[in-house]
Amino acid sequence: MSNEIKMPSVGESITSATISEWLKNDGDYVTKDDDILSFETDKVSQGLPAGFDGILKYQVSEGDEVDIGAVVALIEEGEAPAGSDTATGSADGGSEKSEAPAPAASTSGNDDVKATPVAKKIAEDKGIDLSSVTGTGTNGKITKEDVLAIAEGASVAKLAASTPAASSAPATTEAPRVGRTSRHKMSPLRRKIADHLVSAQQNAAILTTFNEVDMTNIMALRKRVQDSFVSKHGTKLGFMSFFIKAVVEGLQAVPSINGQIEDGEIIQNHFYDIGVAVGTEKGLMVPVIRDCEEKSFAEIEQSIIDYAGKARDGKIQLSDLQGGVFTISNGGVYGSLLSTPILNPPQSGILGMHTIQQRPVAIDGEVVIRPMMYLALSYDHRLVDGKEAVTFLIRVKECLEDPERLAVGV
């Protein structure tokens, strides 16, 4: 009996999805909980489980864009065939296989390397040892593209070595050039990000105001309580929970930033669901931490860890990205000193964090060295006046420079 595996619905506004990668080979025996493929929409990237035990039969190819509800695979129900755990070609092939010539490079360890089934098959066919390949997939997994890039580079090197000029040319360590340019389709998620950013620039009056914060007290507090915090909560006390709590204080002090314009009307939000921008190999995602005014520091830190793991593994759901009232973007993790973040519509404000630098500052008439961070608040000037934006940013600064305020709510 054949069971149809259809592309699931992941949101009312999403009508199609793109097959990113097959995670199982055509003809493999799979179990119902196995993810057989990963797919992308213009909002999320996630895996699709088999749903049944049986033999997998592809109905679409990698890179295909398919409608929601379309059949992407068939599962032929039945018992696991003998040797199904080695269905990808590592089973003993008998005396004939033992007489086959050895590959150009040893691939005996490929079964233990973290790679997609398609990548392993290509590596086996081309005699590539996957232990020497750096994976660019989720959690460092080796993808088809990684193996093809190695294979293409090796082919170019072999061709260059076989030319007459190569024998007389001086030795060089420069990597062979595969080509001057390459072209590939934008993923649905990347297209959506591009459209989203352009729309934000065109439909809002974005203005940015700046300030700087002395991180001395937060860094001292974290150092003082870190061991106890980890022992009690099982997670580290990071900077982001302080910033989220400070933003909540700022939004409560300046409610206009916790609002949005819709159809000529102002919608005032009375909740504090804060989006935290997370960079992934698929692009920027902004999962939302709910009810931040009620969460403890430990609960916020755990939420960030959970979302970061889901984003890396491609398991972020559409519901995880919806409903935020304000966004925090941390360019400092990449070394950014200063930037002007773009609004995340329909929100009216976004706070940009940046790298911490030891800088000379004047305190009580003396120049001292302090760990300083520039802050940037971009806001929708249609709704938020300059005075309100500056007031908000100063409130955030005060809370961060005197973090005990966050603990006692003053």
Identify whether 26 is a catalytic site residue: no
Identify whether 381 is a catalytic site residue: yes
pLDDT at 295: 95
Asked whether residue 88 is domain-assigned, the answer is no
Q: In CATH, what number is assigned to the domain containing residue 118?
A: 4.10.320.10
- Shared domain for 41 and 119, answered yes or no, is no
CB 249 within 8 A of CB 406: yes
pLDDT at 312: 74
Domain region containing 217:
188-408
pLDDT at 149: 73
- Shared domain for 404 and 262, answered yes or no, is yes
- Shared domain for 238 and 327, answered yes or no, is yes
318-332 pLDDT, tens digit each = 789 889 999 999 999
Mark which of 120, 136, 168 sits at the end of a domain: 168
CB 353 within 8 A of CB 329: yes
Asked whether residue 218 is domain-assigned, the answer is yes
Q: At what angle do helices 240-253 and 386-401 cross, to 10 degrees?
A: 140
pLDDT at 138: 54
End-to-end CA, the chain: 66
The number of angstroms, rounded, from the C-alpha of 401 to the middle of its chain's C-alpha atoms is 30
- Shared domain for 160 and 206, answered yes or no, is no
Asked whether residue 67 is domain-assigned, the answer is yes
- Shared domain for 8 and 70, answered yes or no, is yes
Whether the CA torsion 397, 400, 401, 403 is positive or negative: it is positive
Q: In CATH, what number is assigned to the domain containing residue 13?
A: 2.40.50.100
Helix, strand, coil proportions of the chain in percent (round to 5)?
Answer: 35, 25, 40
Catalytic entry in 85, 195, 385, 402: 385
Mark which of 32, 61, 76 sits at the end of a domain: 76
User: DSSP per residue over 329-345, as a string?
Assistant: EEGGGGT-----PPP-T
Residue 67 CB partners (closer than 8 Å, separation 6+): 7, 15, 16
Q: Dihedral, CA atoms, 75, 77, 78, 81, nearest 10 degrees?
A: 0
Beta bridge partners of 359: 370
Q: At what angle do helices 297-312 and 240-253 cross, to 10 degrees?
A: 110
Residues of the chain predicted below pLDDT 70: 12-13, 42-43, 81-112, 117-118, 136-140, 151-178, 281-283, 408-410
- Shared domain for 207 and 139, answered yes or no, is no
Give, for 183, the enclosing helix (H) or strand (E): none
Asked whether residue 180 is domain-assigned, the answer is no
Domain count, the chain: 3
CB 22 within 8 A of CB 47: no
CB 284 within 8 A of CB 278: yes
